[in-house]
Homo-oligomer: A and B are copies of this chain.
Amino acid sequence: MTIASEQSADTIDQLRTPALVVDRDAYRRNKERMDTTRPGLELRPHVKAFKSTALAADLAKDGHTGFCAATPLEIEGLVGAGLTDDLLLANQTLDAARLGRLSDVAQITVAVDSDETIAAAVNGGVRNVLIDVEVGMPRCGCDVSDAGRLGDKARAAGLEVRGVMGYEGHLMMVTDREKQAALVEKSMAKLLAAHEAVGGEIVSGGGTGTFDINTWITELQAGSYLLLDTDYAKLGLPFETAISVVATVISVNAKGWAVVDAGLKAFGLDHGPPTWADGEIMFCADEHTVLVIDENSPTLAVGDRVHLIPGHLDPTVARHQRFWVAEGDQIVDIWPIDLRHW
């Protein structure tokens, strides 16, 4: 449907801008650090952070063959790519028939938190569910006190109840790690109470921000650690930024600014504007970011290229068609971002 033709480039300098670039060495180091803490199936990579079956396939090679997703389309895409071992829609859907029809070729599990979503799973032909429990964040998930009833109801309706999940998303960005650990323990006590009532082998939760602290779960749902963003980078976790948007300087004004051709359509701005390592950002417009040029910044000329680091990885990735994978200045791979939209 899009007009953009397939593109190719040997080096970062040849890329049509704006372009989303992965630093492959940094990405690999992030993978290794996570693998030390969460090997194999103790990690369930969350594809919502990167939306690419090529990247998911690379994780599967390391033994992370179970994935979780936020949308039915992400699950459909993983199945299409042959990553069928153990797929969790870590979210509620009423459109469960999209997943039920894949149940003969993939093991698919769907989160449920209400009578209605259980009914949707049954009617849609889904076979496996987790009971999603609210553990302190005001979003999806049933009350702890209702988890056992929902588990029984799901089993009575013929569903395999594999356990529980609960996302302590409200605690990801707590910067005092001791305080964070105490809060996560409280939050997970709710999930364990629900698990007691529901049964099953799985206790799924967590995220990049609690990857080492959350010791109560059987599997971690995390994806941001692979590429990171400036928001997560503030936490001082042992992961590094492996993502940037490359942009070209298209205008320079002697009054003290330069304009590049990557604007808010190339970023998710919900965590603020992107970061330029060499100076300040003045603001973003649709297709422009304005950089402050002063005594603390380098001088830029029209045609120069800069790297901007996104404040929030997930929505930034969702705006691009592909990752350009680089080793130094060389483009060594292209990973299509093929799990976008709905």
Chain A residues with CB under 8 Å of chain B are 1-4, 16-19, 48, 70-71, 73, 76-77, 80, 91-95, 113-114, 116-117, 134, 138-141, 143, 169, 248, 250-255, 257, 259, 261, 264-266, 268-270, 282, 284-288, 290, 301-303, 314-315, 318-322, 336, 338-342
Q: Which residues of B contact A248 (CB under 8 A)?
A: 94
Which interface residue of A1, A141, A255, A259 has the most chain B CB atoms within 10 A?
A1
Q: Are B257 and A138 in contact (CB under 8 A)?
A: yes
A3-B338, A134-B253 known; 20 new pairs, CB 8 Å cut-off, are A2-B341, A4-B73, A4-B341, A70-B286, A91-B287, A92-B259, A92-B302, A93-B250, A94-B302, A114-B252, A116-B303, A138-B290, A140-B288, A264-B315, A265-B314, A268-B269, A286-B314, A286-B315, A318-B319, A321-B341
Tell me how far the C-beta of A212 lies from the nearest C-beta in chain B, rounded to whole angstroms. 23
Q: Are A264 and B268 in contact (CB under 8 A)?
A: yes
**21 chain-A/chain-B pairs, Cβ below 8 angstroms:** A1-B322, A1-B338, A2-B338, A4-B342, A16-B95, A18-B342, A48-B287, A71-B287, A94-B250, A94-B302, A113-B251, A114-B252, A116-B303, A138-B253, A138-B255, A138-B257, A138-B290, A139-B290, A143-B254, A265-B268, A286-B315
Q: Which residues of B contact A138 (CB under 8 A)?
A: 253, 255, 257, 282, 290
Q: Ordered nearest first, which 4 A-B pairs have the shortest CB separation?
A: A116-B302, A92-B250, A140-B251, A269-B270
Q: Which residues of B contact A77 (CB under 8 A)?
A: 3
Tell me how far the C-beta of A335 lies from the nearest C-beta in chain B, rounded to whole angstroms. 11
Tell me how far the C-beta of A173 lies from the nearest C-beta in chain B, rounded to whole angstroms. 13
Kindly identify which residue among B3, B76, B117, B259 contacts A80, using a CB–CB cutoff of 8 Å. Answer: B3
Nearest residue in B to A113 (C-beta to C-beta)?
Answer: B251
Q: Are B117 and A302 in contact (CB under 8 A)?
A: yes
Supposing A94-B302, A342-B4, A342-B16 touch, asked if A285 and B139 sit within 8 A by C-beta, the answer is: yes
Nearest residue in B to A321 (C-beta to C-beta)?
Answer: B341
CA distance A239 to B93 in the complex (A): 36
Q: Are A1 and B318 in contact (CB under 8 A)?
A: no
Q: Which residues of B contact A259 (CB under 8 A)?
A: 92, 139-140
Nearest residue in B to A301 (C-beta to C-beta)?
Answer: B116
Q: Which residues of B contact A287 (CB under 8 A)?
A: 48, 70-71, 91
Q: Are B303 and A2 in contact (CB under 8 A)?
A: no
Nearest residue in B to A76 (C-beta to C-beta)?
Answer: B3
CA distance A286 to B231 in the complex (A): 15
Q: Are A286 and B48 in contact (CB under 8 A)?
A: yes
Q: Are A285 and B169 in contact (CB under 8 A)?
A: yes
Kindly identify which residue among B16, B139, B251, B338 contacts A92, using a CB–CB cutoff of 8 Å. Answer: B251
Kindly identify which residue among B1, B114, B270 contacts A336, using a CB–CB cutoff of 8 Å. Answer: B1
Q: Which residues of B contact A139 (CB under 8 A)?
A: 251, 259, 285, 288, 290
